[in-house]
């Protein structure tokens, strides 16, 4: 490495500007970095500056007594960045790299700026490794910026909460619908914004019955009736991929509608002789009271575990070898997505083979469990607990119409039977 500038803070950090020549990039250049050395633990961390250059350019920028204008501008910009890092380092009483990064990379802006609040929320979700929620907030944020770009001819640097009125949200909804988006998608993109309003608590609140009501949309029913379930279970798959998809689909159905993420995160310590226990990954850190879901194991469920489980069976090992402890959270997230996509693709083909016209996915297993449980006279409270819902209203949205068309026909015809 080539080390040019060296700045020591009054505390215990030494900052250096270095050209990292350990590994040449594909374009033949080297990354210019800021090295921060913690003297107490004698460890370095490196931070990119956004500049790559070769050795010749590096010398012209930082070693030439009379650099050209472009080179001088680069040097001034980098020196300003190095100074900013130094100020942050000096502000830390007991320096650590983690505290330094938290202070340095915390989004800057005004609390009443919606863009600032989006960035704060996304950084918070990153620290919790909630990659699905990060994607949701980023989609919401980017959609708003696209709306502003098209309606104002540019994306403003700030969007104050005071600008977001019911009329603003109505215009956004119309813009989304005109682009072919559904009302459900509008709702998905605006719920993160509503959450930011609740966090920032600005003087204006555009949501609610007296303002803008976020559309819920009506989801297509995703529950399969008992005849359909029987057909699906008894149909022979065309290949091993469809067999695997079918097995995991019915495993989800019999495990109280457990979703794929919860299935893949199951560990051997959660499996008892005749039941398993789990806490939904989605609600582990979002509810005050942890809901432990107990699932009785059938012969079929036990068979799926035995057929697809890992050979490593320590208490902390994952049951299914899709995830492993060497993966970071991002790698686990991608592995989960890939596995779910694979199951859905082959489940769709298997369902078509069985005679279904709908695109059956893993989501249908969860809805089908809820609906079938109600039709088997289970209480809505039981179904809610089984699904891990803290609010019974969430459960109601899952449950398909309890009566099929034939039962409803008999009911209506019987309304005139007064004997």
DSSP string, 294-348: EEEPPHHHHHHHHHH--S---TTSBSSTT--TTS-HHHHHHHHHHHHHHHHHHHH
Q: Does the pLDDT at position 409 exceed 80? A: no
pLDDT at 177: 94
Please check whether residues 83 and 145 belong to one and the same domain: no
Please check whether residues 244 and 393 belong to one and the same domain: yes
Quick check: is 209 in a domain? no
Question: What is the C-alpha separation between 392 and 218, in angstroms, rounded?
Answer: 18
Question: What is the C-alpha separation between 302 and 268, in angstroms, rounded?
Answer: 13
Please check whether residues 9 and 84 belong to one and the same domain: yes
Measured CA distances, 340 to 244, 253, 263 (Å): 12, 15, 11
Q: Which residue has the tokens 């060296």?
A: 6
Please identify, among 74, 105, 136, the residue that sits at the C-terminal boundary of a domain: 105
CB neighbour list of residue 158: distance below 8 Å, 6 or more residues apart: 109, 110, 113, 115, 116
pLDDT tens-digit profile of 358-401? 999 999 999 899 888 888 888 888 888 888 877 777 777 666 55
Question: What is the C-alpha separation between 122 and 110, in angstroms, rounded?
Answer: 16
Please check whether residues 237 and 373 belong to one and the same domain: yes
Please check whether residues 188 and 247 belong to one and the same domain: no
Judged by DSSP in three states, 242 sits in helix
Domain extent, residue 141, equals 114-200
Q: Does the pLDDT at position 221 exceed 70? A: no
Please identify, among 79, 105, 131, the residue that sits at the C-terminal boundary of a domain: 105
Please check whether residues 134 and 43 belong to one and the same domain: no
Please say whether the beta carbons of 271 and 277 come within 8 A.
no
Question: What is the C-alpha separation between 204 and 198, in angstroms, rounded?
Answer: 11
Quick check: is 206 in a domain? no
Quick check: is 417 in a domain? no
Per the structure, the count of domains in the chain is 3
Q: Which residue has the tokens 């799926």?
A: 304
Please check whether residues 81 and 45 belong to one and the same domain: yes
Please check whether residues 194 and 251 belong to one and the same domain: no
Quick check: is 419 in a domain? no
Most confident of 5-19, 65-79, 231-245, 390-404: 231-245
Please check whether residues 99 and 121 belong to one and the same domain: no
Between these two residues, 222 and 320, which has the higher pLDDT value? Answer: 320
Between these two residues, 189 and 329, which has the higher pLDDT value? Answer: 189
Measured CA distances, 320 to 92, 201, 311, 332 (Å): 45, 44, 9, 13
Please identify, among 80, 105, 130, the residue that sits at the C-terminal boundary of a domain: 105
Quick check: is 384 in a domain? yes
Quick check: is 99 in a domain? yes
Please check whether residues 83 and 135 belong to one and the same domain: no
- CATH number of the domain where residue 343 is located: 1.10.443.10
Give CB contacts under 8 A, 24+ apart, made by 47-53: 47/85, 49/17, 49/78, 49/81, 51/78, 52/25, 52/27, 53/19, 53/29
Under the banding of pLDDT at 50, 70 and 90, the label for residue 51 is confident
pLDDT at 406: 59
Quick check: is 221 in a domain? no
How many CB atoms are located within 10 Å of the residue 118 CB?
23
pLDDT at 158: 87
The residue-averaged pLDDT of 77-81 equals 87
Quick check: is 213 in a domain? no
Please check whether residues 315 and 353 belong to one and the same domain: yes
Q: Which two tokens stand for residue 149?
A: 């770009």
Please check whether residues 266 and 298 belong to one and the same domain: yes
DSSP secondary structure letters along 77-131: HHHHHHHHHHHHHHT-SS--HHHHHHHHHSPPS-TTBHHHHHHHHHHHHHHTT-H
Under the banding of pLDDT at 50, 70 and 90, the label for residue 6 is low
355-369: b (≥16 Cβ within 10 Å) or e:
ebeeebbbbbbbbbb
> β-pairing, 43-53 with 13-19?
unpaired
What string of H, E and C letters represents the secondary structure of 142-191? HHHHHHHHHHHCCCCCCCEHHHCCHHHHHHHHHHHHHCCCCHHHHHHHHH
- The whole-model pTM stands at 0.61
The pLDDT > 70 percentage for the chain reads: 89
185-217: b (≥16 Cβ within 10 Å) or e:
bbbbbbebbbebbeebebeebbbeeeebebbee
The residue-averaged pLDDT of 258-272 equals 93
């Amino acid at each position: 490495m080539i080390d040019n500038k060296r700045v020591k803070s009054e505390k215990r950090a030494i900052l250096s500007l270095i050209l990292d020549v350990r590994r040449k990039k594909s374009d033949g250049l080297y990354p210019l970095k800021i090295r921060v050395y913690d003297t107490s633990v004698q460890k370095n961390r490196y931070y990119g500056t956004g500049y790559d250059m070769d050795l010749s350019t590096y010398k012209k920028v930082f070693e030439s007594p009379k650099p050209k204008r472009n080179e001088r501008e680069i040097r001034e910009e980098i020196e300003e960045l190095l100074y900013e890092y130094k100020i942050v380092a000096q502000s830390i009483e007991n320096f650590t790299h983690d505290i330094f990064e938290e202070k340095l990379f915390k989004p800057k802006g005004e609390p009443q700026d919606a863009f600032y609040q989006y960035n704060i929320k996304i950084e918070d979700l990153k620290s919790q490794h909630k990659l699905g929620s990060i994607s949701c907030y980023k989609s919401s944020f980017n959609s708003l910026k696209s709306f502003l770009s098209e309606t104002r001819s540019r994306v403003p640097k700030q969007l104050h909460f005071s600008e977001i009125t019911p009329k603003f949200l109505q215009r956004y909804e119309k813009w989304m619908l005109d682009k072919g988006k559904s009302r459900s998608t509008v709702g998905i993109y605006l719920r993160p914004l509503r959450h930011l309003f609740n966090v920032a608590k600005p003087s204006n609140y555009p949501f609610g019955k007296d303002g803008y009501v976020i559309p819920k949309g009506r989801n297509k029913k995703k529950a399969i009736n008992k005849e359909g379930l029987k057909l699906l279970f008894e149909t022979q798959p065309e290949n091993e991929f469809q067999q695997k998809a079918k097995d995991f689909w019915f495993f989800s159905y019999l495990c109280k509608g457990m979703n794929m993420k919860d299935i893949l995160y199951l560990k051997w310590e959660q499996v008892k002789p005749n039941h398993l226990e789990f806490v939904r990954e989605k609600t582990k850190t979002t509810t005050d009271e942890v809901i432990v879901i107990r699932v009785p194991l059938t012969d079929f469920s036990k068979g799926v575990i035995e057929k697809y489980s890992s050979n490593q069976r320590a208490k902390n090992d994952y049951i299914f070898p899709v995830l492993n402890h060497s993966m970071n959270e991002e790698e686990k997230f991608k592995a989960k997505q890939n596995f779910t996509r694979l199951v859905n693709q082959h489940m769709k083909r298997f369902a078509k083979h069985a005679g279904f016209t709908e695109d059956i996915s893993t989501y249908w297993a969860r809805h089908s469990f809820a609906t079938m449980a109600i039709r088997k006279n289970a209480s809505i409270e039981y179904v809610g607990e089984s699904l891990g819902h803290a609010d019974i209203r969430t459960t109601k949205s899952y449950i398909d119409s309890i009566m099929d068309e034939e039962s409803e026909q008999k009911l209506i015809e019987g309304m005139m039977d007064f004997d």
